[in-house]
Copies of this chain bind each other. A is one copy, B any other.
């Protein structure tokens, strides 16, 4: 029996490429649909270095209905993991229409095409930003959605659309994954985050300071009401997040309805704790200076992670030290990202490792490079 195909929109991006690794490890065959606007096709070569299987790439936009119909016709898939979207909060404030168009109208376009193709299993990349900044932590899934920026509102609106869809047609199985702060990289050092320009997020910035690419980390506020005064977030290893997608996919394929679930570790780490962990992992000193608070930043939030364990049997298994170690391995081995050749030690990696749960839907014992002719 051939491995079941899964369409992964945005599959060449940071979370997408790691999710491809986890899907292949779990016996699925990802078909990546990506515009490559904010990602790099060479990430899929790295997926192949790790797993022996290079996902097919369909270069297309989820807003292009005809392209979606062609993709579903050419690549029969059982389910869709929908990660494609714009993700910078600040940019969403400046260009809300662009964000609503890509994230919301794009998802509408995708689910309509899924309906035409008879594919009704969907995992959607939502975000903890749907909660807004007024909830005490840990934040359970039952907390009200009060997103405070257009990016978060695009995610909350998509969740609402998908809930209505599920209520109207009981054949759909849908899981919305509310990511907290995915960081780190694949443990092989072959795959990681590739920020365009100065990183918006803490860990890639810290990694670049450790590597000497940037002089100094600016800490945005050290006078918050937290243990050390700096902001606290729920950092979660990207491979845990990737495996969460596999667990959510299995759930959605078996249980009609819609599930909203957090993907977080269930505890927070402060900026200074991240810096210390990164110093330990890298053996480098991270220069930092304290700057003013950034408008719109919440002091602290982290997930209630119990819902995901109850619903999916998933929990994050990699700690902050591993997030930093893997992030540093990726940064050190690929100072120029995918412009660097795949490190030589890749050949010595185990083919793949299934950390995504007990029940595998399909076995793969092929290392053929392409999944579809």
- Residues on A facing B (Cβ under 8 Å): 93-97, 100-101, 104-105, 108-109, 111-112, 115, 150, 153, 157, 160-161, 164-165, 167-168
Are A93 and B150 CB-contacts (below 8 A) given A108-B101, A108-B104, A108-B105? no
Give chain A's interface secondary structure class: helix
Are A96 and B168 CB-contacts (below 8 A) given A101-B112, A108-B105? yes
Identify A96's interface contact among B96, B104, B150, B165, CB under 8 A: B165
Most buried by B among A108, A157, A164: A164
Shortest Cβ gap from A162 to chain B (Å): 9
Identify A161's interface contact among B100, B115, B167, CB under 8 A: B100
Which residues of the other chain, B, contact A105 by a CB distance below 8 angstroms? 104-105, 108-109
Are A94 and B153 CB-contacts (below 8 A) given A104-B104, A105-B105, A108-B100? no
Which residues of the other chain, B, contact A108 by a CB distance below 8 angstroms? 97, 100-101, 104-105
State A165–B168 Cα separation when bound (angstroms). Answer: 30
Identify A168's interface contact among B95, B115, B153, CB under 8 A: B95
A-B contact pairs, 16 of them (CB 8 A): A93-B164, A94-B168, A96-B164, A96-B165, A96-B167, A96-B168, A97-B161, A97-B168, A100-B161, A101-B108, A101-B112, A104-B105, A105-B108, A150-B168, A157-B157, A157-B160
